[in-house]
Amino acid sequence: MIEALLIPIAQAATGGATDGHPPSSGLPQFDTSTFSSQTFWSIVSFLILVALLNKYVIPAIRNILDARSKSIQEDINGAKQSRVDADKALAEYRRLISTARESAAQIMDETRREAIAYRDNALKTLEEESARKKAVVMEEIEQSKRAAMQEIATHAVEIALLATEKLLAKSVTAADANQMVDEAIRQMGQQRPIIH
Amino acid sequence: MFALTATAAATTAVHAAASSAPKMDPLHHFQVIKIIPISLFGIDLSISNSVLWMWIAMALAFFCFRFALRQPSIVPGRAQSLAEAGFQFIDDIVNETIGHDGKQFFPYIFTLFFTILFCNLTGLIPGSFTATSQIIVTGTFAMGVFIFSTLLGFYRHGAHFLHFFVPSGLPIALLPLMVPIEIISYLARPVSLSVRLFANMTAGHTLLAVLFFFTATLPWFGAWLPFGFTVIFTGVEIFIGLIQAYIFTILTCVYINDALHMH
């Protein structure tokens, strides 16, 4: 099967079939009778192909490559611009955030200071108020104490006088009376701290 | 004269004896056959199978590019990417080898590369003809490059271009030795350029033909081996076709660069 397929191919390749061409002694390429036509047509065909490619192929590819490099360049420029913009935006946001942070810290500081001041103020007022009230109360106490002392002294003298009068009914000399008064007064003086 | 006749007679005899069995002629497919005979002023300008397949290769190259560029867009499709890659490939070679003033030669180098490449590749189609396996075709291109770069050198530098053959910083005593060597190596350029391509193509196709012959004539249990080799070797030939087109192109650029910058 394979042989049947390959024999014609091999014959085409090797010239197995007879075709009327006598085998030459050397390479057929050195047959000078074919040189003039092959030289002529090689030159002519080559020049025609140069002209055709130069007109229809090379400029087309060159245009496409130029257009592509141009568009890539534009893309790169655009990307660079975008990057610059993004960097700018980022810097702006960073600036905003730091400003916000600063102002927040400032507000907190101020608030804290204000709160402390308010508390201090309130404490001071309270202390002053209580001191003032205490002073008033002390004054009142002092006054009432003094009044009480006065009253007691008055009453003591009266009692002493009365007692003296009763005693005088029995024989009391003036000296005894004075002594008794003094005694009474002294006794009152000793009792004074007990009132407090 | 006698010897020639004897050889011919012997060949004919061998030929007649072997005509019953398949004969191996791996060089047969390099035979240039006239298709349309044309003769102008006594010069043979016939259209042969070689010319025809060169035209097919060139047309294929042109229409492949036109197809790839049928709707050129900024975002390329597959075909357009390939065409651009080919363009960029040659552009890079020209820029790196010649430099900025190589731009004016770009269309020629571009065409040269794709002509050789498509000739090499279409030659691998069974039954086709490889124009680049003809020494006269590769020789024409190589001589074209050689004459062009030499004229370019003289056009750019005038008689100063002859200093190209005098290596700088060499003792005077060595000059009588070095100058002829430089001139010979310069003159050898078109020869090596053309023979390299022609020999690569010829060798590869000859080997393929031999392998095909064995595939066709061996019994089935032996045929698979040369057949497998033809499959592998066709892949190798595609690679060789690319490499040879590349070498031809880059050497062309090197020669043009030498003519322009003289180093």
Nearest residue of A to residue B76, measured between CA atoms: A64
- Position A43, amino acid: I
* Of B122 and A196, more confident: B122
Give the tens place of pLDDT for each residue, B164-176.
787 777 777 777 8
Contacts of B91 (CB under 8 A, 6+ apart): B106
Give the tens place of pLDDT for each residue, B26-70.
777 777 777 777 777 877 778 888 888 889 999 998 998 888 888
Q: How far is A80 from chain B (nearest CA, A)?
A: 21
Structure tokens of B165?
Answer: 């053959």
- Position B91, amino acid: D
Q: Is the pLDDT of residue A21 over 70?
A: no
What is the pLDDT, as a whole number, of residue A166? 77
Would the CB atoms of B140 and A43 count as touching at under 8 Å?
A: yes
- Position B113, amino acid: F
Contacts of A16 (CB under 8 A, 6+ apart): A7, A10, B22, B23, B24, B25, B213, B216
Helix, strand, coil percent content, chain B, rounded in steps of 5: 80, 5, 20
Task: Quote the CA–CA distance of A1 and B230 in Å, as a whole number.
Answer: 18
Of A33, A45, A53, the CB nearest to B54: A45
Q: Is the pLDDT of residue B180 over 80?
A: yes
Task: Quote the CA–CA distance of B254 and B249 in Å, as a whole number.
Answer: 9
What is the pLDDT, as a whole number, of residue B142? 92
- Position A52, amino acid: L
Residue written as token pair 């024999």? A7
- Residue A133: which pLDDT band, with cuts at 50, 70 and 90? very high
User: Residue B91 half-sphere exposure, CB side, CA atoms within 13 Å?
Assistant: 11
Question: What is each CA distance from B184 to B147, B190, B191, B251, in whole angstroms?
Answer: 15, 11, 11, 17
Q: What is the 3-state secondary structure (H, E, C) of B170-220?
A: CCHHHHHHHHHHHHHHHHHHHHHHHHHHHHHHHHHHHHHHHHHHHHHHCCH
Would the CB atoms of A45 and B83 count as touching at under 8 Å?
A: no
Contacts of B87 (CB under 8 A, 6+ apart): A58, A61, A62, A65, B110
What is the pLDDT, as a whole number, of residue A2? 46
Is B26 within 8 Å of B213 (Cβ atoms)? yes
Would the CB atoms of B74 and A45 count as touching at under 8 Å?
A: no
Q: How many CB atoms lie within 10 A of CB B91?
A: 20
What is the pLDDT, as a whole number, of residue A143? 93
Query: DSSP letter string over B32-100?
Result: --EEE--EETTEE--EEHHHHHHHHHHHHHHHHHHHHTSS--SS--HHHHHHHHHHHHHHHHHHHHT-G
What is the pLDDT, as a whole number, of residue B173? 79
Nearest to B244 by CA among B148, B141, B144, B104: B141
Give the tens place of pLDDT for each residue, B143-159.
999 999 999 888 888 88
State the average pLDDT over residues B98-102: 84
Q: How far is A3 from chain B (nearest CA, A)?
A: 6
**8-state DSSP, A55:** I
Give the tens place of pLDDT for each residue, A142-160.
999 999 988 888 888 888 8
Nearest residue of A to residue B70, measured between CA atoms: A60
Would the CB atoms of B208 and A13 count as touching at under 8 Å?
A: yes
Q: How many CB atoms lie within 10 A of CB A64?
A: 19
Would the CB atoms of A46 and B144 count as touching at under 8 Å?
A: yes
ipTM for the whole predicted complex goes beyond 0.85: no
Contacts of B208 (CB under 8 A, 6+ apart): A13, B230, B233, B234, B237
What is the pLDDT, as a whole number, of residue A113? 94
Would the CB atoms of A41 and B32 count as touching at under 8 Å?
A: no
Distance linking the first and last C-alpha atoms of chain B: 51
